[in-house]
Amino acid sequence: MTTTKLFFLFLISALSLFELRAAEILGGSIRYESLGNQKYKVIGVLNRNCSGTPLSIPVFKIEAGSLSYTLTASRTSIEDVTPRCSKTSSPCVPSNTTTNDGVEQHTFETTVDFSVAPYNQFYTQGQCEVMFSMAAFHRSYNLTTVSANQFYIEAMLNLCILGTSLSNSTSKNKTETAIKMCCNVPFAYNLGYSDPDVDSVIFSLETPKKSKDSFEQFISPFSVSIPMSPFCMPSGVSCTPLPNAKPPRGIWFDANTGDLVLTPTNCSEHAVISIKARDFRKINNKMELVGYTTTELNVEVVICSDNNPPTIPTSNKQTVCEGNKLCFTIQSKDARSLKQTTDDTTQLIWNNGIPGAVFAIVDPTAREKEAQFCWQTQLGDARDNPYSFTVTATDDFCPNPARTNKGFIVTVKPRATMYAKYTKQAGNKLVFEGVNGSSISNIYEWTIADTLYKTFNQKDSVSFKDTGTYIIKIVVNNYPRNCPTTYYDTVHMDGSITTAVHSLSVLNARIYPNPASQSITIDLPMNHGISDMKLWSSDGRLIYSGAYAITLDISAYSKGVYMLELIGEEQHQFLKVIKS
């Protein structure tokens, strides 16, 4: 090979390497969606600095154990996401070229079908935790808290837990990852995750990775729990987090909501924050990790114009008993700074994190917007981990509007459930007993209509002077959850001696799997009395009606939330069904 050819090969290689290294990546995320029938779409999002060189398609891989395959991805969209007010023009035109300082979001997609070769080997070889990864050059070159190398993030799908009949779609992130924090100004942030399967999501801070088996190194004194410089008293970066202090102290990270609160103090700091969202689902009455996704934030601390960011002062922790309706008002506030001559107007939006809930602005003309959040829960919505959604407040300050994100969690508590056991004895005597429908102890109150009889015992007896049909009212409460249920029952006293168990007017029914892509099983107690069932869409359309059956095929229906109605002579209950 001639010297000239070697020179040109070297030049081409050097230019290619320069292009890869010069594309400055400002954070990103990776997630996956179930397409049904063991097929998944993998979505990667990268934010680039528009003043850098164009961004090439990153490398996607799928790996577990000794199995490793490179996936072919395509770029599906490019969007300018530079935070700016309505009076400012886009800095990233034309797209994916070297222009001005701004943020451009690139979305890439690829698909994997685990039912066909070679990806079916993950099942046959028992490789459980399958990793989807995305790698690209290069993180920001001016990072001050962590070393800057290849950008790498991953998402996990647990094939062994889900098997071939269940699926999972990881949480969607609706918030940009290129963050500018104003120096010495309180900052509140949330990724805006919404889980399509309504799984329980737990968040954690993670050490950024540069490859599958290699982590970035934090520069002292920074660490995974203190990834940048917060306000601390009297000095330093390590102190007890106080998110409600004025200003907030330390770095507060909420594992339930994903909220990040701090007051940045190093006005020239450039940091990376990696956040993992783990999806947990109850399978066979046990909470299982079914997958996770990772998002990386690129944070630049800058000196801002004199503008106070909006705040969301409403409490972000709510509780409700299943079957009840929860409504509360979410406020936004924006105080005028010392140098401002006019007040900012705020806007409120949410990420639709809880299917079926309603988020409505109370007065669209108000300067500081308020929103009414309402959710009519259903029997069966109770679970150990809370539901979550995210609210974003923005102001209209120019040229750089400020925003605040806040995560909200709603804990749905189970209702008290029971069965009633009746024994008719000689002398027209009735012995009755409440049998707890769960492991939680109940408090009982029994009354008999048209009599003065009342008792608070779980088991008691009463003798009737006359034969006939008597209406019994039972109020059962699962204190301290304090979600009482009122039952009405009828007993016919005719002098006979019998024993009977009544499941009463509220069923202890459950559906599994839920979410489901193919079929569901409706599990009812003995002597349930259900004869018919109907399936309703979220917009109130009847899409199925028939006799009660243990299983129901839902494979032909679109993804979404449905209501299953169970009907009997003395029983009537609605259960939520999620089609994945």
Domains 418-502 and 510-579 share a fold: yes
- pLDDT at 499 > cutoff 80: no
pLDDT-derived band at 217, boundaries 50, 70, 90: very high
CB distance 427 to 463 below 8 Å: yes
Q: According to the model, what pLDDT value does residue 175 have?
A: 63
**Average pLDDT of the residues in 203-225:** 95
Q: What whole-number distance in Å separates Cα of residue 28 and Cα of residue 373?
A: 30
Pairing of strands 59-64, 325-331: unpaired
Question: Looking at residue 525, what is its pLDDT?
Answer: 66
Note the pLDDT of residue 459.
94
pLDDT: which is higher, 320 or 479 = 320
Calculate the average pLDDT of the chain.
88
Structure-token match 């072919």, residue found? 72
Q: DSSP letters of 495-533?
A: S---EEEE--SS---EEESSSBSSEEEEE--TT--EEEE
Instruction: Provide the percentage of residues in the chain whose pLDDT is more than 70.
Output: 92
476: left (phi over 0), alpha (psi -120 to 50) or beta: beta
Q: What is the pLDDT of residues 277-286, one digit of tens each?
A: 999 998 887 8
pLDDT above 70 (res 1): no
Burial 274-308 (b: 16+ CB within 10 A, else e): bbbbbbbbbeeeeeeebbbbbbbbbbbbeebeebb
Domain coordinates in residue numbering, the chain: 23-304, 418-502, 510-579
Per residue in 369-424, pLDDT (tens digit) is: 999 999 998 878 888 888 999 999 999 888 778 889 999 999 999 988 888 899 99
Average pLDDT of 110-119?
96
Give strand pairing partners of 462. Answer: 430
For the stretch 25-38, pLDDT in tens is: 999 999 999 999 99
Q: Rounded to two decimals, what is the model's pTM?
A: 0.74
Question: pLDDT tens digits for 311-369?
Answer: 999 999 999 999 889 999 999 999 888 778 889 999 999 988 898 899 999 999 999 99
Q: In what order do the strands lie in the sheet with 499-502?
A: 459-463, 429-436, 418-425, 499-502
Residue 510 pLDDT > 60: yes
Instruction: Say which amino acid occupies 127.
Output: Q
CA distance 262 to 243: 7
75: left (phi over 0), alpha (psi -120 to 50) or beta: beta
pLDDT digits (tens, 9 = 90+) for 228-274: 999 998 889 999 999 999 899 999 999 989 999 999 999 999 999 99
Mean pLDDT along residues 545-566: 88
Give the span between the Cα atoms of 504 and 333, in whole angstroms: 49
Query: What phi-psi label fits residue 237: left (phi over 0), alpha (psi between -120 and 50 degrees) or beta?
Result: alpha
For residue 481, how many other CB atoms are within 10 A of its CB?
A: 16
Q: Is the pLDDT of residue 221 over 80?
A: yes
Contact 299, 529 (CB under 8 A): no
Whole-angstrom distance, CA of residue 60 vs CA of residue 29: 12
Q: What is the pLDDT of residue 10?
A: 42
Q: Which of 49-63, 278-292, 426-440 has the highest mean pLDDT?
A: 49-63
**CATH of the domain spanning 418-502:** 2.60.40.10
Question: Which of 30-34, 286-290, 518-522, 566-570 ranks highest by mean pLDDT?
Answer: 30-34
Task: Return the CA Rg of the chain.
Answer: 29
Choice between 4 and 341, residue whose per-residue pLDDT is larger: 341
CA 394, CA 410: separation in Å to the nearest integer?
Answer: 23
Lowest mean pLDDT among 192-196, 514-518, 527-531, 568-572: 568-572
Q: Note the pLDDT of residue 470.
A: 86
Query: Are β-strands 429-436 and 418-425 bridged in parallel, bridged antiparallel, or unpaired?
Result: antiparallel
CATH 1.10.3720.10 fits 510-579, yes or no: no
8 A C-beta contact, residue 466 and residue 395: no
